[in-house]
Amino acid sequence: MKASQSFLATLKEAPSDAEVVSHKLMVRAGLIRKLSAGIYNYLPLGLKVIRKVENIIREEMNRAGAIELLMPMIQPAELWQETGRWEKMGPELLRIKDRHERDFLIQPTSEEVITDLARNEIKSYKQLPINFYQIQTKFRDERRPRFGIMRGREFSMKDAYSFDRDVEGLKKSYQIMFDAYTKIFQRMGLKFRAVTADNGAIGGSGSQEFHVIADTGEDAIVYCPSSDYAANLEAAVSLPLLGSRAAAQQSMQKVVTPTQTNCLEVANFLNIPIETTVKSLLFAVDQEKGPAKLFMLLLRGDHDLNEVKASKVPGMAESRFATEAEIKQACNAPAGYLGPVGIAPDVKVVADHTVANMSDFVCGANLAGHHLTGVNWGRDLPEPLVMDLRNAVIGDPSPDGKGVVDICRGIEVGHVFQLGTRYSEAMGCTYLDQQGKSQPMVMGCYGIGVTRLLGAAIEQGHDERGIIWPISMAPFEVVICPMNYDKSEQVKAAADQLHEQLIAAGIDVILDDRGERPGAMFADWELIGAPFRVVIGERGLVDAQVEFKGRTDAESQNISITEIKDKVI
Ligand code: ATP
Ligand code: MG
Ligand code: MG
Ligand code: MG
């Protein structure tokens, strides 16, 4: 590929609506352009990365025995009425009408259509198990599209659906997908964690999410560094191991003094309704009786904080906001520190977490010996999560009894579900078993956010100059940067020849033949994130030498042209 024949569209400035680094860099590197909220053009370079991601997914899905097909983006409402989701889904489902006023939708997912296909095509146990997948555009009218293509409205997903004879079979199919996902994210060179998850709107039993670990992730993950326990917030509280909320409250009694209480009690005392949107937290402090004990209180955004601040918490000498110093102390608290959960109504930066406004907060707490640091729950968390997390960390030493839980943030890039017979029963998707008896097929479904993965990879791989791609995802593996390509015949000949040789060796190479000045040319390729750069100049060519540099190398090194292939492959 030659740069003059591809479409490089790098920018100096990031768009003003870009909050996270991946969004900024994807626009600046010329991978995407916004068309409308949550709807993007994928420019040629962006599409190239998407194709690489798709190929890894395809290879591993095929290897795992899944079969690719393609279902329509536009689906008739009737199928969704059969499962009740036409009524149940909220405004996230984009409903449309055709010219005959018939109801259709743009698929946010495809359980209904695949189940319809299976009930028509699969009749016998001999045809099972089977697992179909597609890589297809999805539309979800997200309430708050943001972070570029990480939370888009239109996005690409790989969705797979397994059909088995029984639950035993489903468990096998599920494990095969789990293992395939692990390979997929490993091949992409990502730091990720699989966590136990709730099933959400899709229904069924048993599900896990794959999260790429990143501070900017929208989800909080509760995990135990000394065991393999990991769950998202919802699941962390619903695990039976944790016990009921009542049990958590009870265990709290063991470690709290009569002056301590939980946020619900504080809210009740102050007669403040706990609303669904967390806007702020209040800290009640009692320093007279031993170590500081702070309590969090969820407040509605329109609540007058000063009014609340003036109210007294039962048994408390004083009720006030935590200071910045207290929050910092809480965030850096060593294990064994009993105390505060921080809130930052007027604090800008705490423990490396930017607190952008009142609705963002950072907490660091060590409750009953459970160390919980540097959490930035932030934005729009429904109240119960915060409540329950508090219960969760106050409960037993940790959910599996093997250590103390910690919290990190993650980006959900994959999700595997055991659906069971929810869809097959609703839609009459049955097969004849060995005895000739009709049985509902037992289903699983498995999603990967294809386009979201680009953003997630960049959140993990970047520096001040641009993107640092894992080599398996990079739009090009090697860029050849000739000095004076347009002026020096010798350089042009060497660069053209190397370009051909690397193509022949199966290397994804681009030759920058634009005749740009070195500074601008290097800056472009660092922004785009080519993993390897080869600089060809007249001086080096005297000894058949070129300058070779990996994207994260501090210095380039002179090597002979013949060595390049070995360095790259
Ligand atoms: P989220 O919790 O982020 O809203 P989800 O749980 O609703 O995601 P699933 O229904 O599990 O998503 O879909 C499978 C995968 O599709 C997700 O794991 C995620 O990687 C991707 N995905 C979901 N919503 C979006 C979106 N709005 N933009 C980009 N990718 C998305
Ligand atoms: Mg969602
Ligand atoms: Mg989710
Ligand atoms: Mg999900």
Chain-centroid distance, C-alpha 26: 16
pLDDT band at 227 (very low <50, low <70, confident <90, very high): confident
User: Is the confidence at residue 321, as pLDDT, over 90?
Assistant: no
Atom of ligand 1 nearest to the CA of 417: 11
- Ligand 4 centre from 195 Cα, in Å? 11
Residue 422 pLDDT greater than 90, yes or no: yes
- Calculate ∠ Cα 20-24-28, nearest 5°: 170
pLDDT, mean over the chain: 76
Closest protein CA for atom 1 of ligand 1: 412
Residue with tokens 């709730």, as numbered in its chain: 198
Helices 450-460 and 21-28, axial angle in degrees (round to 10) = 100
> Residue 107: pLDDT band by 50, 70, 90 thresholds?
very high
What ligand 1 atom has the least distance to the C-alpha of 142? 27
**Residue 108 identity:** P
Other beta carbons within 10 Å of 298: 25
Q: According to the model, what pLDDT value does residue 232 have?
A: 75
Contact 157 CB / ligand 1 (< 6 Å): yes
Q: Is 211's C-beta closer than 6 angstroms to any atom of ligand 1?
A: no
The β-bridge partners of 447 are: 159, 415
Amino acid 145: pLDDT: 95
Q: What is the pLDDT confidence band of residue 112, given thresholds at 50, 70 and 90?
A: very high
Task: Check pocket membership of 452 for ligand 1, CB cut-off 6 A.
Answer: yes
Q: In this model, does residue 393 exceed pLDDT 50?
A: no
Q: Estimate to the nearest angstrom the gap between the alpha carbon of 495 and the chain centroid.
A: 40
pLDDT in tens, 326-382: 444 443 433 222 233 333 232 222 222 222 222 222 232 222 222 222 222 222 222
The pLDDT value recorded for residue 569 is: 80
What is the Å distance from ligand 4's center to 485 Cα?
A: 49
CA 194–ligand 1 middle distance (angstroms): 15
Ligand 2 centroid – CA 151 distance (Å): 9
Question: Quick one: which ligand is closest to 152's CA?
Answer: 1
Distance 284 CA to ligand 4 centre (A): 36
103: three-class secondary structure by DSSP: strand
Note the pLDDT of residue 234: 58
- Cβ-count burial of 297 within 10 angstroms (0-12 exposed, 13-18 middle, 19+ buried)? buried
pLDDT at residue 241, rounded to an integer: 26
For 43-113, list the strands marked E by DSSP: 67-68, 74-76, 94-97, 103-106
Tokens, residue 500 = 């051909």
pLDDT the model gives residue 402: 56
Helix (H) or strand (E) holding 310: helix 305-310
CA distance 423 to 203: 9
Measured distance CA(72)–CA(106) in Å, rounded: 9
Distance of alpha carbon 84 from alpha carbon 422, whole angstroms:
11
Mutation pick for ligand 1 pocket among 139, 141, 146, 157 (CB with most ligand atoms within 8 Å) = 157
Residue-level pLDDT at 223: 75
Angle value at C-alpha 373, between 372 and 374, nearest 5 degrees:
140
